C-alpha cells in the first residue's frame, strides 16, 4: 500500500493546476491497476454531478450516460457510500440498472468498479474504474484501489477547501491531523446543515476564539469531547 501512495504522490510532483492534479492522479491509478480507464466526478445528487476528469473517450461516455439517466454504479457508490464492484457488467447491470445497461451495451466495457469519495460525513463524489474484459480485482488489487481512493479523497477535499497547492501541499493534506480536521468538518457539516466551506470556517473561528490549534479542536469533535453544536454562530 505504501507503493500505491508513493506512486500517486510521485504523479503529483509536476502538477501545475487543480485539474492537472486530478488528471495525474487518475493516470497513476490506471497505471497501478488492471483497468483500462477511469474518471472522477463530484456529486451532490442524481442530477447534480460534474465530471472533473476522464482518462479516455469510453470513460467519459460512461460518465455521460450515468448523468443523463441518473443511474449507474457511480451514483450507487455515492448514495450507499460503499464500493460498487461489478466484475461482469453486461449481466449485473441488466438487473441493477437496466436503462444504463441498454445505453452502454455497445461499448467495450466488461467490468466497472466504482468507489465513493468521502471524508467523514462529507460525500464528495466517486471514482469509476472500467476494464474491457469481465473479471474481479484480486484482494491485493482491491487494497491498492482503496489506497488510491484515500489519496484522491484527501487531495480533492484539500482542493475544494482551498488547502491544497500542488505537490508541496500534499504532506499537509494527508497528515493525520489534517485527516481529523476533514472528519471534524464533516461532523460539523452534518450537525449544522451547512456547506463544507462554512463548516471549516466555523472550526477555524472556534479555534481562533479559544486560542487553541485547529487540530486540537478537530480532535475533540472527532472524539465527541466537543459538540459540533458549540460551533453555531
* pLDDT at site 98: 86
Distance (Å, rounded) from C-alpha 36 to C-alpha 25?
15
Q: Do 100 and 84 touch, CB atoms closer than 8 A?
A: no
Chain centroid offset of residue 51 CA: 12
Residue of 40, 13, 69 whose CA lies nearest to 148: 40
User: Interior CA angle at 35 toward 34 and 40, to 5°?
Assistant: 135
Give the three-class secondary structure for 112.
Answer: strand
Residue 22 has pLDDT above 90, yes or no: no
Quote the percentage of the chain above a pLDDT of 90.
21
Largest CA distance in the chain: 60
Give the three-class secondary structure for 24.
Answer: helix
Distance (Å, rounded) from C-alpha 88 to C-alpha 134?
5
Written as nine digits, the cell of 231 is: 460551533
Instruction: Look at 103 and 46; give whichever has higher pLDDT.
Output: 103
Residue 130 has pLDDT above 70, yes or no: yes
**pLDDT band per the 50, 70, 90 thresholds, residue 187:** confident
Amino acid at each position: 500500500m505504501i507503493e500505491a501512495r508513493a506512486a500517486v504522490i510521485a504523479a503529483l510532483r509536476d502538477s501545475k493546476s487543480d485539474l492537472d492534479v486530478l488528471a495525474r492522479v487518475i493516470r497513476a491509478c490506471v497505471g497501478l491497476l488492471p483497468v483500462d480507464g477511469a474518471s472522477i466526478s463530484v456529486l451532490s445528487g442524481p442530477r447534480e454531478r460534474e465530471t472533473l476528469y476522464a482518462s479516455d473517450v469510453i470513460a467519459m461516455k460512461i460518465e455521460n450516460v450515468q448523468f443523463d439517466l441518473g443511474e449507474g454504479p457511480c451514483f450507487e457508490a455515492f448514495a450507499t457510500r460503499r464500493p460498487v464492484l461489478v466484475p461482469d457488467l453486461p449481466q449485473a447491470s441488466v438487473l441493477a440498472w437496466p436503462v444504463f445497461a441498454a445505453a452502454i451495451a455497445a461499448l467495450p466495457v466488461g467490468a466497472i468498479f466504482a468507489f465513493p469519495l468521502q471524508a467523514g460525513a462529507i460525500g464528495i463524489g466517486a471514482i469509476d474504474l472500467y476494464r474491457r474484459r469481465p473479471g474481479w480485482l484480486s484482494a491485493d488489487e482491491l487494497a491498492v484501489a482503496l489506497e488510491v481512493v484515500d489519496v484522491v479523497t484527501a487531495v480533492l477535499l484539500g482542493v475544494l477547501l482551498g488547502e491544497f497547492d500542488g505537490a508541496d501541499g500534499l504532506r499537509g493534506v494527508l497528515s493525520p491531523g489534517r485527516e481529523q480536521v476533514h472528519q471534524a468538518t464533516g461532523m460539523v457539516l452534518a450537525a449544522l446543515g451547512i456547506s463544507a466551506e462554512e463548516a471549516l470556517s466555523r472550526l477555524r473561528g472556534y479555534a481562533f476564539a479559544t486560542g487553541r490549534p485547529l487540530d486540537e479542536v478537530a480532535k475533540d469533535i472527532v472524539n465527541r469531547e466537543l459538540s459540533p453544536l458549540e460551533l453555531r454562530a
